[in-house]
Amino acid sequence: LVPSLRHRRSLGEPRALFALPSAQGSLPAPRWPVECEVIKETIEHIEWVPPEPEPFCQPTGHEWAPAPLGKEQGTVIYHLSPAPQGSCFTRARVGGAPGPLSSPAAPLEGPQDTTLLFESRFESGNLQKAVKVGPYEYVLTLRPDLYTTKHTQWFYFRVQNTRRDPLYCFTIANLAKPKSLYSDGMRPLFYSQQDAQSHGIGWRRVGTNIRYYRGGGGEEPTAFCLSWTMRFPHDGDTCFFAHSYPYTYSDLQRYLRAVAGDPVRSQYCMVRALCRSLAGNTVYLLTITSPAGTAAKRAVVLSARAHPGESGSSWAMQGFLDFLLSTHADARLLRRLFVFKVVPMLNPDGVVVGNSRCSLVGRDPNRAYGTALCGSFPGVWHLRAMVERVLAEREVVLYCDFHGHSRKNNVFMYGCDGGRAGAELRLHQRVFPLMLSKNAPDKFSFPSCKFKVQKSKAGTGRVVMWRMGVSNSYTMEAAFGGSTLGGRSSHFTVEDLKSLGYHLCDTLLDFCDPDPTKFQQCLSEVDALLRQRLGRELGSGGSWSDVSPSELES
Residue 36: how many other CB atoms lie within 10 Å: 20
Confirm if 21 and 28 have CB atoms less than 8 A apart: yes
Is there a contact between 319 and 502 (Cβ–Cβ < 8 Å)? yes
Q: Count of CB atoms within 10 A of residue 46's CB?
A: 13
Residue 205 burial by Cβ neighbours in a 10 Å radius (0-12, 13-18, 19+): buried
Chain-centroid distance of CA 481 in Å reads 13
CA distance 551 to 543: 14
**Whole-number Å distance between alpha carbons of 523 and 540:** 21
Name the active-site residue from 477, 537, 551, 553.
477
Tell me the C-alpha distance between 231 and 237, whole Å: 12
Do 359 and 281 contact (CB within 8 A), yes or no? no
Q: Residue 447 in contact with residue 533, Cβ under 8 Å?
A: no
Distance from CA of residue 293 to its chain's centroid?
34
Residue spans of alpha helices (H) in 125-220: 193-199
Report the distance separating Cα 112 and Cα 93, nearest Å.
Answer: 40
Q: How would you label 435-469 residue by residue, b for 16+ Cβ within 10 Å and e otherwise? A: bbbbbbeebbbbebbbbbbeeebebbbbbbbbeee
- Three-state DSSP state, 133: strand
Is 477 considered catalytic here? yes
β-pair partners for 100: none
Residue 453 and residue 549: Cα distance in Å, rounded?
A: 8
Q: CA-to-CA distance for 246 and 19, rounded, in angstroms?
A: 24
- The answer to whether residues 71 and 218 touch, using CB atoms and an 8 Å cutoff, is yes
| Distance separating alpha carbons of residues 120 and 242, to the nearest angstrom | 11
Are the C-beta atoms of 338 and 397 separated by less than 8 Å? yes
Q: Strand (E) positions, 279-435?
A: 282-288, 298-304, 338-343, 396-405, 411-417
Do 421 and 472 contact (CB within 8 A), yes or no?
no
End-to-end CA distance of the chain: 50
Active site residues per annotation: 477
